[in-house]
Amino acid sequence: MTAKLNQLSVRQQVMVLYTANSALDTGVIAWSFYDGTGKTVHMAGDQNDPPYRTGLDALLDGWRLIQASPLISHVSGDEFRTDYLKYEFFFEKMIEQVVQMEGL
Amino acid sequence: MPKPALLSSEQMAQFASRGFLMMEGVVPKRINDQFLNDIGKVPESEISDPMSYYGKVMGTSAIPVVNAGVPLSEAYPDENAITKMLALPKVAGAVKSLVGDAPSFDHHFLHMTFPPSFYEASSRPQASQHWHQDSTIDPRQAFDVQIMYFPHAVTAKMGGTRYLPGSHLRIVSEAAIGRYQNIKGQQFVTCKAGTLLFMHMGIWHGGGLNLSNKVRYMFKIRMCPTERQERLWDTSDLGNDHHEQRPIFWTGLKGKTNPIHEMLTTPEPWFEYDTGRLEYINRVLFWRYLLGDDSFDADYWLTRVENEYA
């Protein structure tokens, strides 16, 4: 027979901010959230206002920066080409939560 | 048949700059009603999930099955609602201005966005569609046009198509942009019945979340030019000052000048500081292509970097 056990576990929340240039203290132009706690669900087009004015504001609110897009040289002959949003910053928060585990 | 009402130069410049033109309520009720009657709707109470609804509609619809590459003028039967819609002078004029006299048919599709009740019995959660650019990587200067036809009124709750003005010149690979959720300046279609959105094929877009209690319909037709897209619109309004440069940055208190130059150099809220300037350059290059005139410039963006001596 198995029993359900409550256990403290850690889940990751990920926030991605896209800024107007490569500095973290410039304005946010696009953003995404992925919530590993399962408490909130986010999807395309669900918000019209950025969660933070700048990337620096996110740091001040406790988000940890885990990845920033590098600055890439422009390919000769293709300097005017534009494609993906250029300045991407991944942040995380680790959230403790009680989860139910199967136990003996 | 009434003469097509060609687009003006300002409308074309808006299309070149922002990648779309909206014609609010341009399709009359009789055509919208015919279209909605002909699409093969089945009572929503008889349907359990989105896929079976699609299947039933596709099986009974009067929307014809058409081979890609057929001339657009031959794609629909004479009495079909879409034939009537395409014959409206403003619609025929926009098509002629953008893709010429004899565009070919690429494909069409009836998009349906389902309310929450359709997902209750399904394991699939209801969600908006990811951002994407249609088809695949497309670096051409020639462009296809997609008409989005909204045959009934779309309220905010119905999750109208989301689109990003000014994104059409970004060369991306279809759903590779799905990671982005929200982008400053994103727009959501809310409109009267009979609204058309003419879109450059490169516009980033996605279906919204329908939180109403009705299925939302949007019919999309993609068409391709069969000629060079040069000066196909009504160019009679292009002023003699069209090539004239204006002061840049230090402009004094003078008001806005040439509206076309203004449109080509107006940023969108999501433009990065540096690539925003590249967007101006790409818009000017696109406008040169449409004009068939490589000497055109706005605010010296290209003249400056082309000032080279052998």
Q: For residue B263, is it within any domain?
A: yes
* Bridge partners (DSSP) listed for residue B107: B222
Euclidean distance between CA atoms B298 and B193, whole angstroms: 37
Split at pLDDT 50, 70, 90, the class of A3 is confident
Q: For residue B230, is it within any domain?
A: no
Mean pLDDT computed over B271-275: 98
Residue range of the domain that includes B114: 9-224
Q: How many domains would you assign to chain B?
A: 2
Q: For residue B310, is it within any domain?
A: no
Euclidean distance between CA atoms B241 and B141, whole angstroms: 25
DSSP label of B146? E
Q: Of B158, B193, B224, which closes a domain?
A: B224
Q: For residue A5, is it within any domain?
A: no
Same domain, B193 and B69: yes
Euclidean distance between CA atoms A80 and B180, whole angstroms: 22
Q: For residue A67, is it within any domain?
A: yes
Q: Is the ipTM of this complex over 0.90?
A: yes
- The share of chain B scoring above pLDDT 70, in percent, equals 98
Q: For residue B2, is it within any domain?
A: no
Question: What dihedral angle (degrees, nearest 10) is formed by the CA atoms of B297, B299, B305, B310?
Answer: 60
Same domain, B213 and B243: no
Identify the helix (H) or strand (E) that includes residue B9: helix B9-18
**One-letter identity of residue A68:** A
Euclidean distance between CA atoms A36 and A28, whole angstroms: 23
Same domain, B167 and B259: no
- Which residue in the set B169, B178, B180 is minimally distant from A82, CB to CB? B169
Which of B68-82, B117-131, B145-159 is predicted least confidently?
A: B117-131
- pLDDT, residue A104, reads 60
Q: For residue B188, is it within any domain?
A: yes
Q: For residue A35, is it within any domain?
A: yes
Q: For residue B231, is it within any domain?
A: no
Q: Of B169, B198, B224, which closes a domain?
A: B224
Give the CATH number for residue B219. 2.60.120.620
Residue range of the domain that includes A90: 14-71+81-95
Euclidean distance between CA atoms A73 and A30, whole angstroms: 23
Same domain, B220 and B163: yes
Identify the helix (H) or strand (E) that includes residue B54: helix B50-60
Per the listing, tokens 């004899």 go with B102
Same domain, B186 and B263: no
DSSP assignment of A11-64: EEEEEEEEESSSSTTSBEEEEEEEETTSS----TTS-SS-SSSBHHHHHHTTPE
- Give A67's contacts in chain B (Cβ within 8 Å): none
pLDDT, tens digit, 9 for 90 and up, residues A13-63: 999 999 999 999 999 999 999 999 999 999 999 999 999 999 999 999 999
- Give B270's contacts in chain A (Cβ within 8 Å): 29-30, 85
Q: For residue A9, is it within any domain?
A: no
Q: For residue A27, is it within any domain?
A: yes
Same domain, B90 and B135: yes
Q: Of B166, B196, B224, which closes a domain?
A: B224
Euclidean distance between CA atoms B209 and A39, whole angstroms: 19
Euclidean distance between CA atoms B93 and B104, whole angstroms: 16
A30/B contact by beta carbon, under 8 A:
yes
Say whether A45 and B127 touch across the interface (CB within 8 A).
Answer: no
